[in-house]
Chains A and B, each alone.
Chain A
Amino acid sequence: MNQIKPLLTLSALTVLLLVTVVSSLFFGAYSMSWKEVWMAFLQNENDATHFLMFNIRLPRIILAALVGAGLAISGAAIQGLFRNPLADQTLIGVSSGAMLFAVLSIVFMGSILASFSAFFRQASVAIFAFIGGLLTTYLVYLLSKREGKTSVMTMLLAGIAISAFAAAITGVFIYLSDDQQLRDITFWSMGSFGGASWIQVGIVFPIVILGIIFLTQNAKALNAILLGEMEANYLGIAVEKVKSRTILLTALIVGVCISMSGLIGFVGLVIPHFLRILKGTDYRYLLKSSALLGAVFLVFADTLARTIIAPAELPIGILTAMVGAPFFLWLLVKSQQKTFVV
């Protein structure tokens, strides 16, 4: 009986994701009726609604779902690895590194690539952000490694210090940037799926899906690590391997996600907690359900982002915090913090 409940939750979340995705097809700067959506799928490629659906709306929704899934599952994995409910991907430096390199790209490459199209400039920011995220995580990881072992505590502190340092350098470049660059930087740091394309989906899809598959294989190990590294070792878990694998996977997932969408906070922290309060800590279900609910949450938030002040758009990072924070606080108060032992 106990095994059925989590399966029910997972299937309910899958249905919820499908419903959210389908209903988000209707909304946007241009709202569509049932008939229009239906026709868009049937009509030939020259039609405007067909074009809107297949080249703008659909890739955007899929990208939002992938990024949401990636950010939420990474947050859950990092919280387990660090045995800290306050942890998320920012702790391993990937966000601040991505930010720094994105700013570098906007400020320096912007003038070099000025003659190229907007597509190249965007691609440059994405590539820089991805490289920056991975490099910073690698640095944090190196700093916390001693005699073949990684100290999670050192890693946490190194992550905070490196992030602060990266933020300071970012600040210098922001100070040096001109008005247009400043606008670009600000928008990047608040996140958006505005430029979503099938190419982006094509890059994010394999990394996020493979990442989810490999991370869920670590579920038992993450459960055991909740008892402490020594205890996990007593249970036959190769703790060091699990640690480096989890950090590499989350850095890859988060790196590729935020390189496409810009910084989107809150998803990695809140989604896993929400599920923990409702369904408990077992990582065999928590990882999968986090990925599903993260996808639902970002598709929903992105739909809001493009409809609330249509035809203009709100940056999605603002919405995730605006919707997520009050809801999360309500949940915290309601559950009387039973689930947290900080």
Chain B
Amino acid sequence: MINVKNITVRKGHKDIVKDASFQISSGKITVVIGKNGAGKSTLLEAMTQSNFIPNGKIIWDGKNIIAINTRTIAQRRAVLSQKVKLSFSMTVKELVEMGTYVSDEPLPLVKIEALVLNALKEIEMLDFLKRDYHTLSGGEQKRVLLAKCIVQLNCCHWADVNKYLFLDEPTASLDIEQQFNFIALVKRLVKRRNIGVFAVLHDLNLAAQFADEILMLRDGKIIHKGNPKSVLTPSKLQQTFDIQSVINKHPVFDCPHVTTLPQQFQVTHYPIFVNV
């Protein structure tokens, strides 16, 4: 479990994250939502970057993050960034293989090969092994980066060590089918490996289906947290995003379905649209 206690992150003269406290548990998906500039990505950085120490405490499986070195943290968590731009060309294999860099000892080539192929199979991109990363589409690049994270998490095995995956807007450049596949894949990882996930998401309905717990961030403060059913309500969405919304039961899944409406919209008129 990662226990975040009252952290504040200051950049320049502004507190980007203010006094945030929450927990990330193994086998659970925690999603943070909020407006642009609310501090979502900064919060994620503060929790993943070991050489960057915010005010407050981050207790990582019982140990203060400051006392854990960069490599040890890397062996326990992987981070999927929004975008990675390479300055030189590199093949998919070379990139995915970097997940094994977290190992303390050099791994046998056979094991590296197996880890890479296994991860590429998981994202259904085995044919892309020798492709140049630059020639891939945005969505394909995202999945390759996820494969690197999978290798990183699979690389070192110890009993009783929890693994975590951090995702920064993972579905942003994916098409609709890939979004579903991606979420399903991450859910599988969570279930099978008991990984704890912390994700920044923009799509409220994906968050509703995906999350065990949702944090609502406004101006750097966590104003609400709880399971999707308890926090995805019109009043809490209003406070977080300055929008109106209508919440229904999702027609297929057991979660809320959010319809967002602009602030000026007269909600009383909405049945007319339903009839259309």
Contacts and interface: CB of A to CB of B under 8 A. Distances in A.
A236 B74 CA distance: 5
Interface of B: 45, 48-51, 69-75, 78-79, 81, 84-91, 93-95, 98-99, 101-102, 109, 132, 134, 152
Interface in A50-97: 83-85
Interface in A39-53: none
Contacts of A276: 88
B137 to A, nearest CB: 16
A240 B49 CA distance: 13
A3 B70 contact: no
Query: What class of interface size applies to chain A in its complex with B?
Result: 20 to 34
A175 interface: no
Contacts of A122: none
B70 A237 contact: yes
Contacts of B69: 238
Nearest to A233: B49
A341 B86 contact: yes
4 closest Cβ pairs, A-B complex: A236-B74, A236-B71, A83-B87, A234-B79
Given A224-B101, A236-B101, A231 B88 contact: no
Nearest to B90: A281
B96 to A, nearest CB: 12
Contacts of A307: none
B85 A85 contact: no
Interface of A: 2-3, 83-85, 220, 223-224, 226-228, 230-231, 233-240, 276, 280-282, 338-341
A231 B87 contact: no
A339 B88 CA distance: 6
A280 B87 contact: no
Contact of A228 (B51, B73, B84, B91): B84
A3 B108 CA distance: 11
Contact of B98 (A2, A223, A338): A223
A226 B85 CA distance: 9
A236 B86 contact: no
Contact of B75 (A236, A238, A239): A236
B78 A227 contact: no
Residue with the highest number of chain A CB atoms closer than 10 Å, among B75, B89, B93, B99: B89
A231 B133 CA distance: 16
A200 B100 CA distance: 42
A278 to B, nearest CB: 12
B99 to A, nearest CB: 7
B101 A227 contact: no
A236 B102 contact: yes
Given A234-B74, A235-B99, A236-B73, A2 B48 contact: no
24 contacts: A85-B88, A224-B101, A226-B87, A226-B88, A227-B84, A228-B81, A231-B84, A234-B81, A235-B74, A235-B98, A235-B102, A236-B73, A236-B74, A236-B101, A236-B102, A276-B88, A280-B89, A282-B94, A338-B132, A339-B88, A340-B89, A341-B86, A341-B88, A341-B134
